[in-house]
Amino acid sequence: MNLAEQQAALIAALTCTGDVPPGFDPVRVRAAASALAFKRARAVAQAWPGVRVMLGDDFRNRFAAYASTASLPQNGGPLADGRAFVRYLAAWMPLSDDITLQALSFDQRRSWLRMRFAWLRDAGCVMVAIGDHRVRLRLPRLRR
């Protein structure tokens, strides 16, 4: 294994996406990986406080499950990592309107198309974001 392969294997072990490579102390690598995962979770909790509140004591466990399958985003830091975490959560559970609005705002700022929509489940309306403006639209209930 050449140096580049060893470095890649070590990074995979530190991000909990691979095994500890030969020649490294597994206890120390796991301790470093745990510290890095805690730091990553703390940064996401600070960038997306609503997610931390919504999940409560389950935040660390859910984030650990997400982080074990998702590498750090190349750009965007904790905000982008938190957005990916929110996508992960949305596949497993309904999100609060606060989280949906924060995700809408994040997506809208990063998009070349400055118009975004989000369904606010708790409020029973659609939020439309165009540029820096936001409008809530209540849709009529459909009769069956």
pLDDT digits (tens, 9 = 90+) for 70-126: 888 888 889 999 999 999 999 999 988 888 888 887 877 765 556 666 777 667 777
Q: Which domain holds residue 83?
A: 1-93
For residue 80, what is the DSSP state? H
Residue 48 contacts residue 82 (beta carbons within 8 Å):
yes
Q: Are residues 99 and 67 in the same domain?
A: no
Residue 94 contacts residue 111 (beta carbons within 8 Å):
no
Q: What is the mean pLDDT of residues 14-18?
A: 80
Average pLDDT along the chain: 83
Is the dihedral angle over the CA atoms 44, 50, 53, 54 positive or is it negative?
negative
Supply the pLDDT for residue 98: 84
Supply the pLDDT for residue 128: 72
Q: Facing residues of 120 across strands? A: 125
Q: In angstroms, rounded to a whole number, what is the distance separating the alpha carbons of residues 42 and 133?
A: 31
- Residue scoring higher pLDDT (7 or 17): 7
Supply the pLDDT for residue 62: 94
Supply the pLDDT for residue 51: 94
Q: How far apart are the first and last CA of the chain?
A: 65
Q: Are residues 46 and 86 in the same domain?
A: yes
> What is the tally of structural domains in the chain?
2
Q: Are residues 3 and 15 in the same domain?
A: yes
- Residue scoring higher pLDDT (81 or 16): 81
Residue 121 contacts residue 109 (beta carbons within 8 Å):
no
Q: In angstroms, rounded to a whole number, what is the distance separating the alpha carbons of residues 61 and 92?
A: 14
Supply the pLDDT for residue 12: 85
Q: Are residues 24 and 80 in the same domain?
A: yes
Supply the pLDDT for residue 130: 66
Asked whether residue 26 carries a pLDDT value surpassing 60, the answer given is yes
- Residue scoring higher pLDDT (26 or 71): 26
Supply the pLDDT for residue 87: 93
Q: Are residues 87 and 100 in the same domain?
A: no
Q: Are residues 21 and 74 in the same domain?
A: yes
Q: In angstroms, rounded to a whole number, what is the distance separating the alpha carbons of residues 33 and 7?
A: 14
Q: Are residues 76 and 48 in the same domain?
A: yes
Residue 110 contacts residue 117 (beta carbons within 8 Å):
no
